[in-house]
Structure formats: structure tokens, C-alpha cells
Amino acid sequence: MSEHIVSPKVYIVIFLALMVGTTATVWAAYQNFGQFNIVIALAIATFKATLVVLYFMHARYSPKRTQLVIVCSVFWLAIMLAMTLTDYDTRTPRDSRLAPPAISHLFRA
């Protein structure tokens, strides 16, 4: 067996890094970065998710074909998000592209 055993030390370091990331994301949410708040939040979340995939889920030590499947999942997700959001962003007439539908009559005041 050529199985790679990840040592508890690595797991604990990754756990601490995830804790730092969680603290950073809460701290960043209370700062006003304007439009960049969401970008920073997603960047930190993606960094944390990458650590989990590489070390907790052993992707770094997996065979190449498993790594290919992992990369494909991100790629297909990117296709779904990019194509759909492009569609929403280029609807014509442009003023109706993301306009809220008129639904207020369905609710009591």
C-alpha cells in the first residue's frame, strides 16, 4: 500500500487556519469596503474551502484522475454561473433585466 497518511499535526494547522479565516470573514463584514465586501467574503470562503479540499479531503495526495474530477466540478459550476448570469445581465429591454416583478398586490400592507 502506497497510501499517504496525513499526520494530525497537518490537520491541526489546517483547523487553526480555518479558525483564522472565520475570524477574518466576520471582521471584514464589519468594515465598509463598499462593493468589495462581497468579493472579500467570497475570497476568504474560497480560501477556506480550498484548504478543506486539499488537506481534510486529501485531494493533494489523491491520484490524478480524482483530481481531474474535482477540477471538473469547479469548471461545470463556473459554466452554470457564468452562462446564467450573462443571460440575466444582457436581457432586453435592458430596464427589465433584473427588475423586481410587481407582486405587492399579493400581500397585505
Partner 1 sequence: MHRTGELYGHFETLEQQKETATLGMWVFLVTEVLFFGGLFMTYTINRHAFSTAFGVGSNTLDLTLGGGNTVVLILSSLTMAMAVWSAQVGKVGWFGIFGKVRWVSIFLIATLVLGTVFLGVKVVEYKQKFDHHLVPGRGFDIRYRSEHPTASDNPKEIAAEKEELEKAFAKDPDINAHAQLYFSLYFGMTGLHALHMIVGAGLLLWLIKGSFAGRFTPQYNTPVEVVGLYWHFVDIVWIYLFPLLYLIDRHQ
Q: Any contact of residue 85 with partner 1 (CB under 8 A)? A: yes
| Helix (H) / strand (E) containing 30 | none
Q: Any contact of residue 32 with partner 1 (CB under 8 A)? A: yes
Q: Any contact of residue 62 with partner 1 (CB under 8 A)? A: yes
Give the single-character DSSP code of 31.
Answer: S
User: Closest distance between partner 1 and the C-beta of residue 92, in Å?
Assistant: 17
Which residues lie closer than 8 Å to 61 by C-beta, 6 or more apart?
Answer: 4, 6
Q: Any contact of residue 37 with partner 1 (CB under 8 A)? A: yes
Single-letter code of the amino acid located at 97: R
CA distance 106 to 103: 6
Q: Which of 96, 16, 89, 25 is nearest to 51 (CA)?
A: 16
CA distance 48 to 58: 14
Hey, which residues between 2 and 31 contact partner 1 (CB under 8 A)? 2-3, 5-8, 11-12, 14-15, 18-19, 22, 25-26, 29-31
Binding site for partner 1 (CB under 8 A): 1-3, 5-8, 11-12, 14-15, 18-19, 22, 25-26, 29-33, 37, 41-42, 44-45, 48-49, 52-53, 55-58, 62-63, 65-66, 69-70, 72-74, 76-77, 80-81, 84-85, 88, 98-100, 103-104, 106-107
